[in-house]
């Protein structure tokens, strides 16, 4: 892989605290303020799309998306399409949900969709492996950790701020790599 440097990635991973991380108090974390503020462009975590579709996105999030440029990751596209794949085709709501996800995906402007490169994916795999070991993640949480790490490192490489309602996991990522930028929100209901 031309874009992946194994030795550099191992040197980069010296931030391993070799201990379980504790979730910090909300007051110590960067949450969206009630009134939207101008700032850097954002990269949306998959939960932003889901919470918006389900009517659980807080007003502060909707206001932020009105004033900041929103970017999308193929990581989120992958997670949304996974959701389409696991839906039971016999369930009466499946067609509606698939249609809604399709509308969201088709609304993404192609010049605002970014794909993680080999460097990001390699580092994300290492970071998620460390996170899984430190926090004792099992099965489903391991795949979620890989996707979260890919999105987080992609945002750093692109100079973007991740917007997410996933406070716990992204708090851990910020503890490991404080140079990352994240804005948290709490969903309604």
With helix as H, strand as E and coil as C, how does the chain read? CCCCCHHHHHHHHHHCCCCCCCCCCHHHCCECCCCCCCCCCEEECHHHHHHHHCCCCCHHHHHHHHHCCEEEEHHHHHHHHHHHHHCCCCCCCHHHHHHHHHHHHHHCCHHHEECCCHHHHHHHHHHHHHHHHHHCCCHHHHHHHHHHHHHHHHHHHHCCEEEECCHHHHHHHHHHCCCCCEEECCCCC
pLDDT score recorded for residue 1: 47
Structural domains in the chain, sorted by start:
6-13+26-184 (3.40.50.1010)
pLDDT score recorded for residue 13: 79
What burial class does residue 46 get, using C-beta atoms within 10 Å of its C-beta: 0-12 exposed, 13-18 middle, 19+ buried? buried
pLDDT one digit per residue (tens) for the chain, 189 residues? 457 888 888 888 788 888 999 999 999 999 998 777 788 999 999 999 999 999 999 999 999 999 999 999 999 999 999 999 999 999 999 999 999 999 999 999 999 999 999 999 999 999 999 999 999 998 889 999 999 999 999 999 999 999 999 999 999 999 999 999 999 999 987
| pTM to 2 decimal places | 0.93
pLDDT score recorded for residue 2: 55
């Amino acid at each position: 892989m031309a874009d992946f440097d194994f030795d550099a990635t191992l040197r980069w991973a010296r931030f391993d605290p070799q201990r379980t991380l504790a979730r910090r108090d909300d007051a110590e974390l960067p949450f969206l303020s009630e009134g939207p503020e101008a700032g850097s462009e954002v990269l949306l975590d998959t939960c932003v799309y889901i919470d918006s579709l389900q009517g659980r996105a807080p007003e502060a999030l909707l206001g932020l998306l009105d004033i900041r440029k929103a970017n999308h990751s193929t990581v989120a596209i992958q997670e949304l399409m996974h959701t389409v794949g696991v839906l039971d085709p016999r369930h009466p709501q499946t067609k509606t949900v698939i249609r809604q996800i399709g509308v969201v995906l088709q609304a993404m402007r192609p010049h605002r969709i970014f794909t993680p490169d080999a460097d990001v994916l390699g580092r994300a795999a290492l970071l998620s492996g460390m996170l899984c070991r430190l926090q004792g993640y099992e099965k489903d949480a391991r795949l979620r950790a890989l996707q979260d790490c890919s999105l987080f490192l992609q945002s750093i490489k692109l100079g973007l701020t991740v917007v997410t309602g996933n406070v716990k996991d992204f708090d851990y990522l910020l503890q490991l790599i404080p140079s990352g930028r994240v804005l948290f929100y709490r969903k309604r209901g």
